[in-house]
Amino acid sequence: MPSFPAPIVSRLPTVGTTIFTVMSRLAQECGAINLSQGFPDFNAEDLLFERVAHWMRAGMNQYPPMAGVPALREAIAGKVEALYGTAYDVDGEITVTAGATQALFTAVAALVHPGDEVIVFEPVYDSYAPAIELQDGKVVRIALSAPDYRPDWAAVAAAITPRTRMIMINSPHNPTATVWSADDMASLAALTRGTGIVVVSDEVYEHIVFDGARHESCARHPELAARSLIVSSFGKTYHITGWKVGYVVGPRELMAEFRKVHQFNVFTVNAPVQYALADYMADAGRHLGLAAFYQAKRDFFRDALAGSRFEVLPSRGTYVQLARYHAISDEPDAAFCDRLTREVGVAAIPVSAFFADGRDERVVRFCFAKNEDTLARACERLRGV
């Protein structure tokens, strides 16, 4: 194939292939058990598939409204108000998106101008910084440290300048599995009070909070709800990550700007799945029971690792588990994960991949959204390391 006839000036010169793709590809090549990329190895209920087929046969296969099927937006509004007490207008304050990553990118593209500063918390999900950099914004990083990964609000206050346009938060947090408290949300509200700072709140694991704790959504806090675009994911909630359907809620003024970009980078999301999700959401138990479902998997995984030399860190939400391996090796975490995949047959994610400077605390991330048989086989191998 001929080469492109001119030099290419990259818009993302420091960005390579995402660590999730790298480790999943290596797991496949090595025949390893993939506990790296965050997706279940089990199916959703057949009823959900039946509802998709129903709406396909019923003819709902053309473009739905740009903001999403009204029935699904109504279901989202009902769920959010029931859980968090804030009523969002179905017409002007809820948009269905092609997954959470698209929603996060669109929020940044709509609201960040060249030179604006955006605060993120590291280790940070790897799509945030590229979205900011593509808008010629400046990424301002606040480090979270093992083993607790709690936000330092004095550091956040010191990082806020007249150029701060946005703060991106993620709770329950990937990759650390921490959950922000009501005090954390109050601190965020106090720091943004009287400013024009927008909060983008990544809440894709909102229903996966353990040990009786409560998810502190920005929608639960009136001050924050008034300045936040809140993102969630049907993929994480209903075990359908490959469908790439999510949503964003927020005040009308912010949503109007969001939709200006959304209509041109996605326009709309496939119709039959939206109708099916609206039907499926009628039973609130399907999302309300998710915490207990995944807590059982967390506990199974942690118990199965108990005889290993890994030090498991707290996992308070999400479906991921961090572990230190200092008793096993002094290798850098990327090298350790490579060897773990090739020689032990279990793939994990090196947490240094979520730090811009490659900060390495000798911690790796496992995903336990798997069948118990998969987890048992993986842990048998890990106990031998």
Q: What is the pLDDT of residue 15?
A: 86
Residue 309 to residue 251: CA distance in whole angstroms: 48
Average pLDDT (341-346) is 98
**DSSP readout, 13-72?**
TT--S-HHHHHHHHHHHHT-EE-SS---SS---HHHHHHHHHHHHTT--S---TT--HHH
Residue 336 to residue 178: CA distance in whole angstroms: 23
Q: Which fold has domain 19-44+288-383?
A: Aspartate Aminotransferase, domain 1 (3.90.1150)
pLDDT digits 0-9 by tens, 252-262:
999 999 999 99
Average pLDDT (198-223) is 98
Which tokens in the block code for residue 37? 């990329």
Q: What is the pLDDT of residue 146?
A: 85
pLDDT digits 0-9 by tens, 65-81:
999 999 999 999 999 99
Tokens 């017409």 sit on residue: 91
Q: What is the pLDDT of residue 120?
A: 98
Beta bridge partners of 229: 200
Instruction: Calculate Rg over the CA atoms of the chain.
Output: 21
Domain boundaries, the chain: 19-44+288-383, 46-283
Q: Which fold has domain 46-283?
A: Aspartate Aminotransferase; domain 2 (3.40.640)
